[in-house]
Structure 1
Amino acid sequence: MKRNIVFFLLISGLSFSQQKNVKINDLPPASESHYFPLISYSGKPLLENKINTFLQVSELEYVPNSGGNPFKRASTATNSYSNYVDYYSWEKMESPENILSITMEGEASGAYPENFFIAKNFDLRTGNYINVEDLFRPDAAKTIKNLIQKEIKKQIADFLVVLKAEKNQSDEVLAQIGLYENCYTDYGLDGMEYYFAKDKMKFIAPRCANHAMRALDELDSHVIEFSYKFLEKYWSPYAKNLVSGSSQVDHTSFRNKLYKGTIGGKYPVTVLVKRLYDEQGGGASFNASYWYDKNKKLIEWNGKMKGNHISITESEFYSEEARQWMVTGFVEADIKGNRITGTWQDNKTKKYLNLELEEL
């Protein structure tokens, strides 16, 4: 019993030091339109770099330390989705010791301005992004999704009761009733924002209204929360160790990970795998960005995964004249453990070079 107590205290002390050593400041140059988190993790430079690289590449489409203003693409709508993006605030949430949860709010402007709320969660033991798909046992993920959907429907149903009880319903109230009666609620776990609070996990599902109808949507986004105690019976082994403060790190999926390696054995590259989309037949598609460490220019990958094999089409830029992404290369590779090995082919010369990557 005494040994167990000592072990618990050691783990707790380790976890506490992790949270204590994490500081967040504003990424320079900060302004009223650009307050973006910059992580400092004392004594853990590799993990600090992983988290900052993930945040800046995935959100700003900027490779850290590549020169220039990191907000340039966001502020000039020259990003991949052609939107002006402003980041108004960020907040470090009070979360379990192994977890860094950051929420951000801002506004994206394309055809019209739209406020957004996003949450990013990182494993402080590894610096890896925490994927919601890794948190639940395969047989339990659907249960959690159904519980969330049930709660969203209850929130809507309760509000509909209030609306329908009004006498002499105005056109606005009738429009609200129509909005909520036709609300889409069948979101997958990866279609929602989520973050870790002190003793609970919160999911934020999109609101019922589109931009044009937003003024009618009094419910706005749907917030659903579950205590960690309630979720215990659904956790994967990885999640149990993550939330409990254990130092044991379990294997997690391919999505949202950073890899480092070489092309041709002599050209150092870094790869950020982004979202992975499951497809029928057991396969999946995914997006990734990579850059040569020397010039730090982002190049896009669009890939297919079947088993442990991945096939990738590389596009370096979008041609306005041709109205399509211009293909510059192809990758055929296999994933084995934390390594990816295969070949990269130049689309122009048809020359093959070896590709070797290892998870950071």
Structure 2
Amino acid sequence: MRRILATFLLACAFGVHAAPAVVQGLVHGTGPEAQRFPWVRTDDAKATDRINQFLFIDTFEAMAPARAGDGLRGIEAQNWQRMPNLGYVVLRNDGRVLSLRVEGEGCGAYCESFTAGHAFDAATGRHLSPGDLFTAEGLADIARKVHANNAARLRKEIAALGSKARSKDEEREDKIALYTECLTSRQDPAYQKIEAMGRMEIDAKGVMFSQGRCSNHAMRALDDLDGFSTRFTPAQLGPSLTPYGRALLLGEGAAPAPASPFDQVLHGSIDGKLPVTLRLEPLRNDGSAAATYFYDRYRKPLSVFGKYRDGVLLLEESSDTRLRLAPDGAGLRGEWISGQKKLPLVLAP
């Protein structure tokens, strides 16, 4: 009896593995050029909302519809003009981790393909960041291996280009110059601090970290390497994982999620009366921070930018409107300030 009770209490404290999520494709347009975007449904309504809100806000700067049946009608036309191609792939969906890749083409002054990897704790809907899954020492070790792998690939390509011909070839020389400059810049400690491991993507075979290509848009035709990626198997990752990471990625044991509000979607209210939703971006190495928030009634995005310093997150919306917040477990607590007016603001997952 005591053993059963202990197991029950552990499950309540740390959560249990959920059933695989149902991922439904919402469609905009018709025919082979129709854009598709994921709508996720889990056994837990709160986790479902956390996942869908994150995906929609991150991709469209728009709140997710209340139901899958509402589709993509609420997405403004300018979003589709900026993203003429959009699709997704489910990479892992095993009840512990839901991982998706959103991919397509984004257009501004010119069009570029893009990919965005998103992984979630399937039971709670928490968006997973490298700091959730890996220890500080593990992150540093992974970063060293990623940068070493990228440098080795560049050196190999430079050597191969150098041995291809003895006669002068302008395009070959331009490629060598491109990759040599890229190698030099990526060995700069400042670059490695900013880029760290790059973009994380989780699938059934392990974790992959990716970084962008060497070339800008104008020089892309010269760049045969495209992006860089380094894959780690579960066995390779084991020593670098936190207890929470081991529970999610390997299914070993149980552990609570980190209590951090960064890189999450939070819900709450201003003055206890005005419901709001906020998507807080990951904290950058220099302490700069950004977020998008919505008054739930109006569902229009408001962008705020600022700094996190000495435990205080100060985000400015305009010259006289700002948010002054402090982490409160996995949420935030503080004030919405406009001129001389100050109202309490409380946010939680």
Instruction: Give the TM-score, by structure 2 length.
Output: 0.84
Residue 74 (str. 1) matches residue 79 (str. 2):
yes
Contact 1:302 1:314 in 2 (8 A): yes
Counting only pairs closer than 5 Å after superposition, residues 177-256 of structure 1 correspond to structure 2 as 177-183=176-182, 184-185=185-186, 186-187=191-192, 188=194, 192-245=198-251, 246-256=253-263
Q: 1:71 deviation in Å?
A: 4.8
Residue 36 (str. 1) matches residue 41 (str. 2):
no
Contact 1:93 1:197 in 2 (8 A): yes
Instruction: Report the residue type matching 1:144 in the other structure.
Output: I
Q: 1:153 deviation in Å?
A: 0.8
Q: Which residue of structure 1 lines up, in the alignment, with residue 51 of structure 2? A: 51
Superposed CA deviations along residues 317-338 of structure 1, whole A, max 9, x for unmatched, are xxxxxxxxxx451222322223
- The 2-side partners of 1:94 and 1:137 are apart by 22
Aligned in 2, Cα 1:339/1:170: closer, same or farther, shift over 3 Å?
closer
- The 2-side partners of 1:39 and 1:292 are apart by 23
- The 1-side partners of 2:335 and 2:259 are apart by 24
Q: 1:285 deviation in Å?
A: 2.0
- The 1-side partners of 2:83 and 2:135 are apart by 36
Q: Percent identity?
A: 25
- The 2-side partners of 1:205 and 1:125 are apart by 29
Instruction: Give the TM-score, by structure 1 length.
Output: 0.82
Contact 1:208 1:220 in 2 (8 A): yes
Contact 1:344 1:353 in 2 (8 A): yes
Superposed CA deviations along residues 142-191 of structure 1, whole A, max 9, x for unmatched, are 22111100001111111222211112352111111111111143444567
Match of 2:272 among 248, 265, 268: 265
Aligned in 2, Cα 1:182/1:165: closer, same or farther, shift over 3 Å?
same
Residue 290 (str. 1) matches residue 293 (str. 2):
yes
Superposed CA deviations along residues 67-95 of structure 1, whole A, max 9, x for unmatched, are 8531523124xxxxxxx123432110136
Q: Which residue of structure 1 lines up, in the alignment, with residue 114 of structure 2? A: 116
Structure 1 or 2: larger helix share? Answer: 2
Q: Which residue of structure 2 lines up, in the alignment, with residue 321 of structure 1? A: none
Superposed CA deviations along residues 78-119 of structure 1, whole A, max 9, x for unmatched, are xxxxxx123432110136641111112211111111111221
- The 2-side partners of 1:136 and 1:154 are apart by 24
Instruction: Report the residue type matching 1:108 in the other structure.
Output: G
- The 1-side partners of 2:158 and 2:136 are apart by 34
Residue 161 (str. 1) matches residue 159 (str. 2):
yes
Q: Which residue of structure 2 lines up, in the alignment, with residue 324 of structure 1? A: none
Runs (5+) with no aligned partner, structure 2: none
- The 2-side partners of 1:174 and 1:255 are apart by 44
Q: Secondary structure at the match of 1:330?
A: strand
Q: Secondary structure at the match of 2:36?
A: coil
Q: Which residue of structure 1 lines up, in the alignment, with residue 139 of structure 2? A: 141
Instruction: Report the residue type matching 1:265 in the other structure.
Output: G
Q: 1:127 deviation in Å?
A: 0.4
Contact 2:132 2:242 in 1 (8 A): yes
Aligned Cα root-mean-square deviation (Å) = 2.5
- The 2-side partners of 1:264 and 1:339 are apart by 16
Q: Secondary structure at the match of 2:164?
A: coil
Contact 2:268 2:276 in 1 (8 A): yes
Superposed CA deviations along residues 236-290 of structure 1, whole A, max 9, x for unmatched, are 22212221224532314331112222111211111111132122xxxx2211111
Superposed CA deviations along residues 210-242 of structure 1, whole A, max 9, x for unmatched, are 111111111111121111111111112221222
Comparing 169-178 with 221-230, greater Cα deviation is found at: 169-178
Instruction: Report the residue type matching 1:86 in the other structure.
Output: P
Q: 1:125 deviation in Å?
A: 2.0
Q: Which residue of structure 2 lines up, in the alignment, with residue 80 of structure 1? A: none
Q: Secondary structure at the match of 2:201?
A: strand
- The 1-side partners of 2:298 and 2:210 are apart by 38
Q: Secondary structure at the match of 2:282?
A: strand
